[in-house]
Amino acid sequence: MFSTNGRFVFYICWLLTISAANTRIKTLPTKQFPREFSFGAATAAYQIEGAWDVDGKGPSIWDYLVHTDPGHITDKSNGDIADNSYYNYKRDIEMLRELGVSHYRFSISWTRILPFGRANYVNQRGIDYYNKLIDELIANDIVPFTTIYHWDLPQILQEHGGWMNEKIVDWFGDYARILFQNFGDRVKLWTTINEPFVHCYFSYGYGVHPPRIRSPGVQFYECGRQILLANARAYHIYNDEFRSTQGGKVGIGLNSEHVFPASDSKDDIEGAKDYLAIHFGQYMHPIFSKSGNYPQRMIHRVQAASTAQGHNSSRLRGFNREQITYIKGSADFLGLNHYYTKYVYRNSSVIGVFEVPSMDDDAFADSYLDQSWPSSHAPWIREYGPGLHHLLVHIKDTYGNPLVYITENGVSTTAGLNDHTRVSYYRSYLSAVLEALAEGCNVQGYFAWSLMDNYEWSHGYTHRFGLYEVDWEDPERTRTPRKSAFVYREIIRSRTIDYNYNPDPYAGSTSTITSSLLVLVIVVLAGLIS
């Protein structure tokens, strides 16, 4: 406890901190995030929880892969312990409070709730864990933003065909219903499925993620088709059975880069449109467009390529009218995951580049990153914030300005607390969000990826995306805020982006200048009081 004099010193220091912060804000441009704009941080169950076989949890496709073929992972690691958030969730929430975020996006492990994949056996200990997490969030005034599925399919369902089995639409719906029943009284924001394009591309397209099937021209599309129907099933279950009493929202999480044509040639312009139609429109158009169904240019491209390859019908299995209607409008909001921008081109150099058949060959357009943009530890990410602005405007103009949460945005660095690359990246992309808001884009919130370093799928622990650094050599998995954590906290607090704000993460302070001033004041006041 503080003594009377101690409280006085603390109060004076607090006033000086606020005064210094306000002085900084007065020198900034007037553009600010609205008070109702939500800031958060994001994670995913397999990437942070650990406790892979604890308290009745069953194996997922990732558990199966890392234990049967660890050499497939870059550093031969696994998520058995990861950040140990199953036990450290209170520290995670403490970190969220330190950042000052209003929302936390996390996913639920399907096999922690349904160890055998199906709804005929529910693991109460899994329910108990997420109840504790959700209750702790709410007790700390943090809104839970819950993802139902983030790539960790039960292994037993994969052995029955996984996303190739049409029954998975019912399996997923049953799973979603159990989550709504158990957590929907407190969770009001749901994302059904995270990044279906990436999931299908790496899992059924090019065999990088489990179940490691290589079929980029057939099963890639079939995976996406089932996911669209599964998302719709979960949405309609909520709409019909829970919305009237729970009053929440259900959306889907889609990833998309922004693309520019590499030149003003007709080929490059059309190539960029076809590329975006397959990469983003494949999921966006059936749900958010007025007409529903796949984008017409995607249907045309796959049909034309299929015919040229000697197929009697398109490799893209279509929807009937009832299914088109069922899928259309099956999201209350778009969860947008965005990391980079590309240039797209279509010329003679594209001939013979892609596997046949494949979605890449169907689009018949290639892409590249501008090498002049700032690089990162991840070779697939270069900083170009304006691309997010252009993408949000494209969504507004093309799809009727739907409600958007930016559910992932971030960059990979190496170990260390002075993550200048991430600071620059966040400032650039959040500036782009401000520009989009000024143009009337219906963006409600932003989630930094990620709250802390975590298991990055097939890359293992070789990439660090965290606002907080995690010491994986420490059994306690100690978390330490990076410079970006202090910068993000100040953006949230002030609702502005101060490019002059330069905290020192090793000093553990919000501002080197402010800290020095506070030390001086404390010394002077202590002398006066004594």
Instruction: List the CATH number of the domain containing 267.
Output: 3.20.20.80
At which residue do the structure tokens 């991430």 appear? 422
Name the pairing type of β-strands 479-481 and 334-337: unpaired
Distance CA 190, CA 179 (A): 10
Compute CA 521 distance to the chain's CA centroid, rounded to the nearest angstrom.
Answer: 43
Residue range 28-43: mean pLDDT, rounded: 87
Q: Report the amino acid identity of residue 75.
A: D
Residue range 134-155: mean pLDDT, rounded: 98
Residue 421 belongs to some domain of the structure: yes
Confidence of residue 31 (pLDDT cuts 50, 70, 90): confident
Identify the active-site residue in 408, 456, 469, 490: 408
Residue 30 belongs to some domain of the structure: no
Q: Say yes or no: 78 and 197 in one domain.
A: yes
pLDDT at 153 over 90: yes
Q: Say yes or no: 453 and 491 in one domain.
A: yes
Residue range 198-224: mean pLDDT, rounded: 98
Confidence of residue 508 (pLDDT cuts 50, 70, 90): low
Enter the pTM of the model: 0.91
User: What is the sign, positive or negative, of the torsion defined by CA atoms of 344, 348, 349, 354?
Assistant: positive
* Radius of gyration in angstroms for the set of CA atoms belonging to the chain, rounded to a whole number: 24
Residue range 485-513: mean pLDDT, rounded: 86
Q: Say yes or no: 486 and 516 in one domain.
A: no
Question: Lowest-confidence range among 10-14, 151-155, 471-475, 507-511?
Answer: 10-14
Residue range 335-364: mean pLDDT, rounded: 98
Q: Which domain holds residue 325?
A: 37-499
Residue 526 belongs to some domain of the structure: yes
Per-residue tokens: 65: 């892969």
Q: Say yes or no: 247 and 358 in one domain.
A: yes
Q: Say yes or no: 437 and 504 in one domain.
A: no
Residue range 196-213: mean pLDDT, rounded: 98
Q: Say yes or no: 204 and 101 in one domain.
A: yes
Identify the active-site residue in 195, 222, 257, 383: 195
Neighbours of 97 (CB within 10 A): 11
Confidence of residue 496 (pLDDT cuts 50, 70, 90): very high
Q: Say yes or no: 422 and 512 in one domain.
A: no
Residue range 339-353: mean pLDDT, rounded: 97
Q: Say yes or no: 293 and 261 in one domain.
A: yes
At which residue do the structure tokens 């975006």 appear? 276
Question: Lowest-confidence range among 10-19, 181-190, 362-371?
Answer: 10-19
Q: Say yes or no: 136 and 230 in one domain.
A: yes
Residue 32 belongs to some domain of the structure: no
Residue-wise pLDDT tens digits, 244-295: 999 999 999 999 999 999 999 999 999 999 999 999 999 999 999 999 999 9
Per-residue tokens: 435: 């520009």
Residue 26 belongs to some domain of the structure: no
Residue 451 belongs to some domain of the structure: yes
Distance CA 72, CA 460 (A): 10
- Nearest to 73, CA basis, from 471, 377, 463, 413: 463
Distances 367 to 257, 352, 357, 408, 523 between C-alpha atoms, Å:
11, 15, 18, 22, 59
Residue 1 belongs to some domain of the structure: no
- Nearest to 261, CA basis, from 274, 243, 279: 274
Distances 343 to 222, 351, 392, 436 between C-alpha atoms, Å:
28, 18, 17, 21
% the chain with pLDDT above 90: 90
Name the pairing type of β-strands 258-261 and 341-345: parallel
% the chain with pLDDT above 70: 90
pLDDT at 17 over 70: no
What does pLDDT average to over the chain?
92
Q: Say yes or no: 397 and 509 in one domain.
A: no
Residue 177 belongs to some domain of the structure: yes
- If DSSP codes are grouped into helix, strand and coil, which group holds residue 107? strand
Confidence of residue 527 (pLDDT cuts 50, 70, 90): low
Q: Say yes or no: 400 and 513 in one domain.
A: no
pLDDT at 24 over 60: no
Confidence of residue 175 (pLDDT cuts 50, 70, 90): very high
At which residue do the structure tokens 């021209």 appear? 217
Q: Clarify whether 257 is annotated catalytic.
A: no
Domains: count for the chain: 2
Q: Say yes or no: 507 and 521 in one domain.
A: yes
Residue-wise pLDDT tens digits, 45-65: 999 999 999 999 999 999 999
Residue-wise pLDDT tens digits, 424-462: 999 999 999 999 999 999 999 999 999 999 999 999 999
Residue partners of 248: CB distance under 8 A and separation at least 6: 184, 187, 188, 189, 190, 238, 242
Question: Lowest-confidence range among 18-32, 67-81, 164-178, 318-332?
Answer: 18-32
Per-residue tokens: 302: 């796959």
